[in-house]
Amino acid sequence: MAALSLPTNIPSHLGLRLLRSALNVGDFKRAHQLFDNIPQPDPTTCSTFISALTTHGRPNEAIKVYASLRACGIKPHSSVFLAVAKACAVSGDTLRVKEVHEDATRLGLMSDVYIANALIHAYGKCKCVEGARRVFDDLVVRDVVTWTSLSSCYVNCGFPRKGLSVFRQMGLDGVKPNPVTVSSILPACSELKDLKSGKEIHGFAVRHGMVENVFVCSGLVSLYAKCLSVREARAVFDLMPHRDVVSWNGVLTAYFTNKEYEKGLSLFTQMSRDGVKADEATWNAVIGGCMENGRIEEAVEMLRKMQNMGFKPNEITISSILPACSFSENLRMGKEIHGYVFRQWKVGDLTSTTALLYMYAKCGDLNLSRNVFNMMRRKDVVAWNTMIIANAMHGNGKEALFLFGKMLQSRVKPNSVTFTGVLSGCSHSRLVEEGIQIFNSMGKDHLVEPDANHYSCVVDIYSRAGRLNEAYKFIQRMPMEPTASAWGALLGACRVYKNVELAKISAKKLFEIEPNNPGNYVSLFNILVTAKLWSEASKIRILMKEKGITKLPGCSWLQVGNRVHTFVVGDKSNMESDKIYNFLDELVEKMKMAGYKPDTDYVLQDIDQEEKAESLCNHSEKLAVAFGILNLNGQSTVRVFKNLRICGDCHNAIKYMSKVVGVMIVVRDSLRFHHFKNGNCSCNDLW
DNA sequence: TTAGGGTTAG
């Protein structure tokens, strides 16, 4: 190894050459020794070395090199500052950024806009908005990069609304946003589900010829995907002159999250035909998409394909696939997946346990979730959020609030998802004042800006408590365009509290926002029928016919032993069908004696003429619960799942069933869990 | 020389 012997007292010009050749072969030890043996390294040598260490994933070594220069009393050149600022950004170490910032200030370099911009960026990567703001405020001359860096700092640190306001301020200051600015501000609109601002920025991008930019367009695709405007997402995608893997992932996600599984999957196939190679995120999007759309077997198949293509499933993959273990048609197969996942990859304790507790909660067994959660040694924000959400869906608002308090005590910083969980817990448990108070504290005490989802939760809080006018006023005062979930919450409550006027207003908005969602038409139809407004109701039916919108068939299922049994309205396909109907007839007699009165309003909830003739007893949830009671096999709880919201009469009937039979019945509908016990339901009849 | 997009929990 004589050739590698170390020269001493290397002159700077030669040192740079030797240093570069050592870095090129990845010999960092030699590079360090060489650098140490240059008595007076010039600025280019210093910045080259620092940058190279950063790009090779050694930002902390890069920062140490800078510190050693300072210790020797060498005054760093501005190029060295830029290099070390980048290293700080990569390492994410706030203290180091502060030190570099102080050094630059002392040397009078903070008016150099390049250095200032690099420091704003570095502070942003360290999630230190105060630092970034200070550098920004101290600048006299700010360019487009300064503004872009600050606004994206806010967006990436969880302050999307602040990011948007910086973006707007920038325009007022006469600095024109460029494609980089636009692509980094779009995620703020997505995060806030702020379609209105998103569309304004889309318009700006069109007017300024930015729609050829792949970053801008991918941002737009994601924006429309997040705001549930799948058609607009597709329109942007179709107009793109060049598409890369990120644009494809965006449009795939748009279809999957909007329940258009088949279209998503066919695009996935088309993607490879178009010569775009799927990456890790593509596979995660597809696997998540399969799971979200109930395609368990396909999700497992995709996991296998992902590995065959040489990709290693990561945390996100595992979190999405693990619930397959219990949703699977066949419990045994679920267990196999579980074992397979654990054998194959050393899954981190935190990720896998969180997935496990979420899976138990989604399967209706909150006690098992609680046990898992209590046993966790370390709990991160995702774990806390999952447990809060689990309680919210089961209607345990008080416990969700309690957990939120404990989370704050353990010094885990709540994020936007935390508040969605806590607020929905409040709405499902009629905790109005508590909910409003928490909503008001979000920005003030927790530095989390409320997004459209949080506003919708508050609408839901007022609505479920029967304070419909307050809910309506609140919607009108929202700082962003109200989403379908805000109007949907109001419409749902109008049915419970029989408010026809507000129902018409909300339904009109919903028909504009999601013209193809059958649920909205059905809800309004039912409200009109209950109010005996027959001619208006029939107009809705005609509207649906004209638009070719058909009601999604209701379907309930439950697991008995290793099998999942599925029921639709008037189902006779079950082998024990006769037994179920006879049992249900007997049960209804007993229930009537206990005070049950069938609510015939709900006979009319199905709009098809044939279905209208079916009696209430045929509803899928009643059939499934009856089948569950017949097959209890010593269990004390029947767990039934339904794809739509539970019908009002069924809700009432199942309360009586739980009393007459003396059994716990858990029903998960499309919105939440209902725990029926002793003639009562955990939702306090706010179904 | 400095700044940019997609995948988990809602």
pLDDT value for A612: 43
User: A337 to each of A117, A323, A332, A373, how far by Cα in Å?
Assistant: 49, 10, 9, 22
In a domain, A200, yes or no: no
Question: How many Å does it take to go from CA A65 to C1' B10?
Answer: 44
Query: Closest residue to B6 by CA to C1' distance?
Result: A246
- The 10s digit of each residue's pLDDT in A454-464 is 999 999 999 99
Stronger pLDDT, A343 or A169, i.e. the higher one: A169
Query: Closest residue to B8 by CA to C1' distance?
Result: A316
Query: Which of strand B's nucleotides are less than 7 A from any protein C-beta?
Result: 1-10
Question: How many Å does it take to go from CA A360 to C1' B5?
Answer: 35
In a domain, A64, yes or no: no
Taken in order A104, A108, A111, A112, the sign of the CA dihedral is negative
Model confidence at A613: pLDDT above 50:
no
Nucleotide nearest A289, from its CA to each C1' = B7
- Nucleic strand B contact set for A 518-577 (CB, < 7 Å): none
Q: What is the mean pLDDT of residues A476-484?
A: 90
pLDDT value for A337: 60
**Average model confidence (pLDDT) for chain A?**
89
Question: How many Å does it take to go from CA A385 to C1' B8?
Answer: 12
Decide: A123 and A132 in contact? Cβ < 8 Å. Answer: yes
Model confidence at A622: pLDDT above 70:
yes
A395 CB neighbours strand B below 7 A: no
Decide: A148 and A184 in contact? Cβ < 8 Å. Answer: yes
Question: How many Å does it take to go from CA A192 to C1' B1?
Answer: 34
Domain that holds residue A650: 555-681
In a domain, A610, yes or no: yes
Question: How many Å does it take to go from CA A216 to C1' B2?
Answer: 20
A285 CB neighbours strand B below 7 A: yes
| Residues pairing with A558 in the sheet | A565
User: Left (φ > 0), alpha (ψ -120 to 50) or beta: where does A174 sit?
Assistant: left
A353 CB neighbours strand B below 7 A: no
Decide: A551 and A607 in contact? Cβ < 8 Å. Answer: yes
Question: How many Å does it take to go from CA A546 to C1' B9?
Answer: 39
Domain count, chain A: 1
- The 10s digit of each residue's pLDDT in A195-217 is 889 999 999 999 999 999 999 99
- The 10s digit of each residue's pLDDT in A133-158 is 999 999 999 999 999 999 999 999 98
Banded model confidence at residue A347, pLDDT cuts 50, 70, 90: low
Model confidence at A290: pLDDT above 80:
yes
In a domain, A658, yes or no: yes
In a domain, A428, yes or no: no
In a domain, A646, yes or no: yes
- Closest by CA to A170, choosing from A151, A156, A153, A194, is A151
User: A293 to each of A283, A297, A639, how far by Cα in Å?
Assistant: 15, 11, 20
In a domain, A381, yes or no: no
**Cα A133 from Cα A124, distance rounded (Å):** 10
Which secondary structure element, helix H or strand E, spans residue A402, and what is its range? helix A397-409
pLDDT value for A402: 97
Banded model confidence at residue A516, pLDDT cuts 50, 70, 90: confident
**Cα A70 from Cα A77, distance rounded (Å):** 11
In a domain, A371, yes or no: no
- The 10s digit of each residue's pLDDT in A213-258 is 999 999 999 999 988 788 899 999 999 999 999 999 999 999 998 8
pLDDT value for A363: 77
User: Could you give the strand order of the β-sheet that contains A664-668, starting from the edge strand earlier in sequence?
Assistant: A563-568, A555-560, A637-642, A664-668, A673-677, A680-681
Query: Which DSSP symbol is given to A554?
Result: P
Q: What is the mean pLDDT of residues A270-299?
A: 89
Question: How many Å does it take to go from CA A276 to C1' B5?
Answer: 16
Gyration radius of chain A over CA positions = 30
A316 CB neighbours strand B below 7 A: yes
